[in-house]
Amino acid sequence: MSREYELVAGLETHVELSTKTKIFCSCTTAFGSEPNTHCCPVCIGLPGTLPKLNRQVVRSAIRAGLALDCQISEISKMDRKNYVYPDLPKAYQISQFDKPLCRDGSMELSNGRVIRINRIHIEEDAGKLVHEQGDTFVDYNRGGVPLIEIVTEPDFRSIDEVKEYVERLQLTMKYLGVSDCKMEEGSLRCDVNISVRPKGSAAFGTRTEIKNMNSFTYIARAMEYEFSRQVELLEAGETVVQETLRYDVAAGVTESMRGKEDAQDYRYFRDPDLVTILTTGEEIEQLRASLPELPAQKAARFAGQYGLSPADAALLARYPRCADYFDEAAAGLAKPKTAANFLIGQVFSRLGSESAKEACAIPFDAKALHDLAALVEEGKINMGLAKSTLEKMLDSGKGPGELLSAADMEAVDDAKLTELCRAAIEADPKAVEGYLGGKEKALQALIGAVMRATRGRANAAAAEKVLKGLLQP
């Protein structure tokens, strides 16, 4: 009889920092250039070269640590992690081992589970191997680009938890401005450590590590496959081997790269070319004061201050520039939800792609959206006219003041509305006959005629009430 098994996972997330230059030299970190054009003797490890630590890397890492409730080490150091691989020209990577910059952080997920963050340390990225038609080429442009590695405890119990954590982490780093976190460019990559155990067991199973995952979809698929693979091994009475794996996207399977290394395999020792990192309490507090309002805080404020639903508030907070745009548009409105609905509905639909939303590529400024919502709020235009005006704003980039005439915003008083309703009845006897014959839908033709006559300025509900009164037998 088969047993039920529980997934246990931990993540090591590598985040490339958005500094202008590399961690130990002045080479640019720009992405997408010709291979091996952003290199110098330092970042390709020529003998006799000396690294110099980029202080902005330390500041960015501390800000990331503070945003994740970490303890910041006032004294830390750099170490050499020794291994031989073609993408590492020095045959060691400069990283941090026993004295990382940040320790003991956490992130609470929506289900209440708290994911403990063991450490955040700084290190240099390796080069990139390019495999083409049986040959392997090395591009060292990425070598020396600064990274932070965020290491969790094995606290995940489902794939959905992993996905939520990575999404929140990605958004937090974007808000901080420490990384663009473009997974498709490799500036956020995850190593997933995964094991299984019988439900109810306190002991951990043997873990495997799936390396360099840079897609939410592939992280989920790789974890699903690896969980099933390990369960099948245990059910067959076999053992799981501790090893490092890659995910084969085409085949949808994990495959072995090498045996899983432990810390002693890397022969860590202090890097003799780099001085101790000293960060004062005063500097830490200055960096803490520089933190922006973070996504969860912003979403909570949007819900409380503007009366938005949690889902709408979270959606706006997901895009930092659009969140700032909404803040400006909502200022002073009695019903800011109108502006939020315009933004989440028509505007987001028109923007379409995630990149357009992240860039907040809206062709008119926040004041224009504010002015449109205010016209609705003041009863000068109805929602139908507001929506059609918004479409014109999206097409032209013009504000409502340039698109709406005085006649558009002229109120339709009761006497005028009654007059227009009488005209609609006289002009469409067939609709009148249908309505009096019990066809409620026939009334919509009469309402439509009134709305067309007022160019959408009339209140449709009020027109319906007047029409029904006039048509009473």
Q: What is the mean pLDDT of residues 80-108?
A: 93
Q: What is the mean pLDDT of residues 455-469?
A: 75
414-470 placed in CATH 2.60.40.2580: no
Place of tokens 């109805």: 382
Q: Which region holds residue 319: left if phi is over 0, alpha if psi is between -120 and 50, else beta?
A: beta
DSSP three-state, residue 265: helix
Q: What is the pLDDT of residue 259?
A: 64
Q: Please report which confidence band the pLDDT of residue 263 belongs to, taking 50, 70 and 90 as the band edges.
A: low
CB 216 within 8 A of CB 166: yes
DSSP three-state, residue 283: helix
Task: Say yes or no to pLDDT of 329 above 80.
Answer: yes
Task: Say yes or no to pLDDT of 384 above 90.
Answer: no
Cα separation, 209 vs 11, in Å, equals 9
Place of tokens 């029409």: 467
Q: What is the mean pLDDT of residues 110-128?
A: 94
Task: Say yes or no to pLDDT of 410 above 70.
Answer: no
Question: How many other β-carbons are positioned within 10 Å of the β-carbon of residue 54?
Answer: 22
Q: Please report which confidence band the pLDDT of residue 102 belongs to, taking 50, 70 and 90 as the band edges.
A: very high
Task: Say yes or no to pLDDT of 1 above 50.
Answer: no
Q: What is the pLDDT of residue 463?
A: 78
Cα separation, 211 vs 299, in Å, equals 33
Contacts of range 353-361, beta carbons closer than 8 Å, 24 or more positions apart: 357/319, 357/322, 358/174, 358/319, 358/320, 358/321, 359/321, 360/319, 360/321, 360/322, 360/324, 360/325
Q: What is the mean pLDDT of residues 167-185?
A: 92
Exposure letters 164-197 (e unless 16+ CB within 10 A, then b): bbbebbbbbbbbbebbbbbbeebbbbbbbbbbbb
Q: What is the mean pLDDT of residues 59-79?
A: 96
Beta bridge partners of 94: 80
What's the mean pLDDT when you consider all of the chain?
Answer: 90
Structure tokens at 457: 């300025």
Q: What is the pLDDT of residue 443?
A: 80
Q: Could you tell me where in the chain the CATH 1.10.10.410 domains are found? A: 414-470
Task: Say yes or no to pLDDT of 473 above 80.
Answer: no
Q: What is the pLDDT of residues 44-58, one digit of tens each?
A: 989 999 999 999 999
Task: Say yes or no to pLDDT of 457 above 60.
Answer: yes
| Neighbour order of strands in the sheet with 253-259 | 71-72, 102-108, 114-124, 146-152, 5-16, 188-198, 208-213, 243-248, 253-259
Q: What is the mean pLDDT of residues 93-117?
A: 95
Q: Which region holds residue 104: left if phi is over 0, alpha if psi is between -120 and 50, else beta?
A: left
Q: What is the mean pLDDT of residues 167-180?
A: 94
DSSP three-state, residue 19: coil
CB 417 within 8 A of CB 458: yes
Beta bridge partners of 106: 116
φ, ψ at 300 (rounded to 5°) = -65, -40
CA angle at residue 91 from 260 to 268, to 5 degrees?
Answer: 60
What proportion of the chain, given as a percentage, has pLDDT over 90?
A: 66
Q: What is the pLDDT of residues 414-435, one digit of tens each?
A: 677 788 788 888 888 888 778 8
Cα separation, 345 vs 101, in Å, equals 43
Q: What is the pLDDT of residue 2?
A: 55
